[in-house]
Structure 1
Amino acid sequence: MKENELVVKGRQEFMGREIPVVLGGFGEGKKCVSDKTIAEIHGMREPDVRRRITDNIKRFKESIDFIDIKQRILLTDTLGVHETHTLELLQNLGYAKQSITQAEHIYILSERGYAKLIKIMDTDLAWDIHDRLMDEYFQLREERKSLENLSPQLQFLINVELEQKRQAEKLEEVDRKVDSIKEVIALRPNAWRKDTGVIINKIAYSLGGAEHIRAVREESYKILEERMHVALGIRLTNKKKTYAMNGVCKSKIDKLNQLDVIADDPKLIEGYIAIIKEMAVKYGVSLEERR
């Protein structure tokens, strides 16, 4: 293995998913992480992660904080060299051929580069995941390096202890998820508008910030329409017309939205609550700070 050659050395369980272990690129044996893996563990879209990096690229140092694999491919193609190793690497990291072709940038970040990205994200969830990834992914190499100098017997005993620790952490994570699901199931029917709004906000922030609130809400409405076979937009228009015919003031009519339509139908309320519960579990958000 060349000093700066990127290679995938198996996979590692992290937060309930298997993530690829990537070595090299920034020095022999040094771990790094792809923008795809970052997107998966932070519950974000790959283009959003790349945009955060690209928009703040002046804060990152090339070959120290990041490597742009896509630009490397384009450069080799320009020179008339077909970079098969790089393409195979990206496919081993889970990138589809189409996404490789369409992407303008594909970033690999060093430990230092990932830390800089977290500063840009600057959310409680991002910092929490950062701390866990540092402990469970990046720092694991230091543990293994120090073990190399010990006797085989001691290495075995320490590895057993480390594995027991990791298994305990997995069980703790499962317990947290179960508690989160219990909280979601306890969503109060008599306060559904407030509670679903809180969940939608938390999902949005888990995806990167308040700018995602509208998209998450629209996703919930789309699922409701498909599942309940309703057209919320048409019902909203009809509701506004009815209000106007009954002499309701324009300012009140303008404030009407899809939630008011849902509130008119107990079946829609029940269906919407179920959908928000499913979305909360899907995105791994908790209601612990709800009240």
Structure 2
Amino acid sequence: MNLLKVEHKNQRVLTTEQLALGYGASERNINDNFNNHKDRFIEGKHYFLLQGNKLRCFKNYPDNIGVACNRAPSLYLWTERGALRHAKILDTDKAWEVYEMLEETYYREVIEINPGAEWRKKTNLIISKICKGLNNYRTPKDDIYNALEERAKCKLKTRLNNLKVRALSQGMHQCKVNQLNNLDVIDNDPKLKEIYIAIVKEKAIKHGIRLNDY
């Protein structure tokens, strides 16, 4: 099943047309099921309803060209939870089979971060995106470092101090020593780097950060 990737509010979504096609149902069937079970759907959690200026902005975005009919007065976009609700209502083998595929390959995109030279750039971009989404530029970083210390059974502050002492003893200028940080500590330990990258990837998935953001 080859689906056009649609995103809204930094998460993967499906149009009613895509959902109906995948589940082997008609769009009317999907709409009727929604209208008959509205109490089981929460806007912003199971779906987004775009109308007026929001719909115009969505249609005009280059990546969304062709996603919705130009004359459509409204557009429903279904989140992963919304797709699950519809699968439960339809309760057909086809719907469940397709939902499992969507869950594994569409809604959850695997994020690859090579531990080579680009790992700092990619992890920093992901963390910045998470911070921006939460409007909090400190806590997400602290959470990641705390998780790293817990999993690796280490103290980054101690390791950083040791790294600075070694750097000074090897003749590094004081101003450069002062610029050393936790990422330099992580870079010097392949196992630590592996754990750090894994944690950042987990956070990216949790907060809906997509590969194509980069």
Matched, 1:198 2:128: no
> What residue number does 2:113 align with?
187
- Compared CA separation, residues 173 and 284, structure 1 to 2 (3 A): farther
Q: Which has the higher helix share?
A: 1
Deviations 1:211-260 (A, max 9, x none): x2332222111100001101001100111122222221111011100000
CA drift of 1:194 comes to: 1.0
Structure 2 counterparts to residues 206-221 of structure 1, below 5 A: 206-208=133-135, 212-221=136-145
In 2, Cα distance between equivalents of 1:13 and 1:188: 38
In 2, Cα distance between equivalents of 1:215 and 1:247: 35
Q: Partner amino acid for 2:114?
A: R
**Contact map agreement 1:220 1:275 (CA 8 A) in 2:** yes
Q: Partner amino acid for 2:107?
A: K
In 2, Cα distance between equivalents of 1:201 and 1:177: 22
**Contact map agreement 1:225 1:231 (CA 8 A) in 2:** yes
> What residue number does 1:12 align with?
41
**Contact map agreement 1:12 1:18 (CA 8 A) in 2:** yes
Q: Cα RMSD (Å) of the superposition?
A: 3.4
Which residue among 245, 254, 259 is the counterpart of 2:183?
259
Aligned length: 135
**Contact map agreement 1:263 1:269 (CA 8 A) in 2:** yes
Q: Partner amino acid for 1:217?
A: K
**Contact map agreement 1:14 1:136 (CA 8 A) in 2:** no
- Compared CA separation, residues 279 and 227, structure 1 to 2 (3 A): same
In 2, Cα distance between equivalents of 1:213 and 1:176: 29
Which residue among 143, 147, 154 is the counterpart of 1:223?
147
CA drift of 1:279 comes to: 0.6
Q: Partner amino acid for 1:270?
A: E
CA drift of 1:261 comes to: 0.4
SS in 2 for 1:284: coil
CA drift of 1:11 comes to: 4.1
Which residue among 75, 99, 107 is the counterpart of 1:177?
107
SS in 2 for 1:189: coil
Q: Partner amino acid for 1:199?
A: I
In 2, Cα distance between equivalents of 1:289 and 1:245: 42
In 2, Cα distance between equivalents of 1:254 and 1:12: 53
Structure 1: unaligned runs, 5 residues or longer: 1-8, 20-40, 42-114, 116-123, 125-133, 138-162
SS in 1 for 2:213: coil
Structure 2: unaligned runs, 5 residues or longer: 1-37, 49-53, 55-60, 62-73, 78-88
Which residue among 159, 165, 172 is the counterpart of 1:241?
165
In 2, Cα distance between equivalents of 1:13 and 1:235: 47
Greater relative contact order (CA < 8 Å, ≥ 6 in sequence) = 2
In 2, Cα distance between equivalents of 1:213 and 1:263: 22
Per the normalisation by structure 2, the TM-score is: 0.53
CA drift of 1:136 comes to: 4.8
**Contact map agreement 1:232 1:258 (CA 8 A) in 2:** yes
CA drift of 1:281 comes to: 0.6
Stretches of 4+ moved more than 6 A in 1? 170-173
